[in-house]
Chain A
Amino acid sequence: MSAPVIDPVRPAAPDTPAGRITKAQRTIPARFDTALGWNDRPGLAWALRILLCLIALAVFAAPFLTIFSGAFTANPSGSSLSFLPHDSTLLNFRVAGERGIWDYLGNSLVIAGGGLLLQLVVCTLAAYALARHRFRGQALIMMLFMMTLMLPEEVIAIPLSLVLGDVPVVHLDLKGTVWGVILPLGAWGFSVMMLTEFMRDIPAEIEEAARLDGVGELRMLWQIILPLCKPALGVAGVLGFIMIWDQYLLPLIASKDPTDYTVTVALSILRTDPEVGSGVVLAGAVIALIPSLIVYLLLQRSLVTGIAAGATKG
């Protein structure tokens, strides 16, 4: 681990969304850059900061090492967990594979891929109408999408499970199909809000010019608006993926039998299986962890921007 050093020479990059740092501010000494006035002069405060950073790292990141070390350890019976594996082996993954972990991962990937695609399409379409059109009842529709945020799966779980078993009007039984998980994730208020805010900021001149060229609505969205929305789409994509991957109750109530579970829900099956040890559970956890880890590490910048934007916009 590299020790945290604040570099006063390096110009402050405007990577934090809320505060673009102007040239004038860059000349201010480093001790005014942070609320606590940290600086890199070796001393008591400096040493204290390094110590605290190491503790933070140990508390929040080190437990993830135990997942990996345990997954690659022959039989870590829960007791011999440590931060580094003693003897590496792939046995746990083989056992987890025999218990169908790859099928569960397949379910998860189909649901995450399909759900995210549907969510992005649905939310983009809705946001386009809300941001670039004026119509009666606009405020009401906006409020409806806001309300979807206040209706989390937990609160409507019991009636939702009934609806999934018999969708009104069409009388379809979605239980046991991936659609039972994908469709309820389609309209996500957060994405609609964020994309609407972003699309509103696109200057009207661009749209008007395209209209003069006879561009229709769909082409307008696809060729003019969407390319300008790439950052917002990135945020919606990452947050949406993490939200979908984190689903627990929805895959549980939408399933007919355990083979329909997603990989995160299926961990409980591994855990309650008396024939396998915690190494196998951890191998499953690694498999459930890797996709979100990849998405996070590749796109963490837009994720952090998104959370921050949600926070400052309110």
Chain B
Amino acid sequence: MKRWVALLAVVAMGVLAGCGGQSQKPAASSQPASGSQQQPAAQGGGEKVIKIGLIAPLTGDVKTFGESTKNGFLLALEQAGFKAGDYKIEYTIADDRNDATEGVNIATKMITQDKVKAIVGSVTSKVTIPVSEIANQNKVVLVTGTATNPKVTVGEDGKRKPFAFRACFIDPFQGTVGARFALDNLKVKTAAIIYDKGNDYTVGLAQFFKEAFEKGGGKVVAEETYTEKDTDFSAILTKVAQAKPEMLYLPDYYQKVSLIGKQAKEKGLNVPMMGGDGWDSAELDYQALAGGYFTNHYSSDDPREEVQKFVKDYQGKYGSKPDALAALAYDATNILLEGIRRANSDDTEKIREAIQGLKDFGTVSGKVTFDQNGNPIKPAVILQVQPDKTQKYIATVNP
């Protein structure tokens, strides 16, 4: 009997260890970030301190997004000397693994335990939508660099979330630009759309692309969905190939797009492929998607002075060219710092008003003025994927 009990205990421990791994992993990966990179608290001295947080997917299926975001965030803080107005900036960084539940957990922790006044992040719309909900309820200012879905700053009920802002354009604009480019420049009349039905970002882009494409006289001949866990697209692509579209619109992140692009070519679908800013990653399969186009926020080849200075500073610090994720995180952080500077207060209501009131604030990705929904009015660029792992600048489209 005793032995049996001991055995069960061992089994239970084994299982607990297994589950423990699951729940401790995010904590473990965020620990070094917040532990080693947090500044020591100001010592008495009367210096005023404001705490801010960064939420980004540092591991998982879109980890290059998170890494670029973190780099842009840190560069902006460093250049500001970790100060804004009379306030010294302290920061903490956490990993959401591109998981909405995890994002909500760490946002709650940041707000209730770390007492942050503002959050930069997260990166993807599916995580940022629930995170912005929480930030708004707790009156914490949120500026995301890259979450493009309209629902980030506007709730399901159509009401503005007053504390949420973003540094990027939104998906209705991005989808429309993609559709117009397809009709006017690629001169195609028919398109197929393949998207993840469980992801706000891809669903939104697919819908806005379709609306604009059909309004412009095009026809969507096939519309197929998949789920996040799918890896086999052969059946979908065989069916799509049968409809003979002149282009494929693939509005997902780089990992899924790489898989779909590769399998599409195997099914003989040698038509132009197009997508959104989710393609922008060094880990995109450049061979499979060579010749494809995507809409993006900025191009590092843009000759504007702000862009070139940023590219130079970034390369000096990190040794690689900044992608749009890094640029937008840098912009989002600077927007937040400017808000704190202008408000010169740690009252989140005042910071929020200062950000909303920005007029033509110069950022890397263009001049920022917010509309009533906290969205900046900015142009988009169209880039082409090259087989040598670079992106060729094609055009700029103004709103």
A and B are interacting partners: no
Q: Which residues of A contact B (CB under 8 A)?
A: none
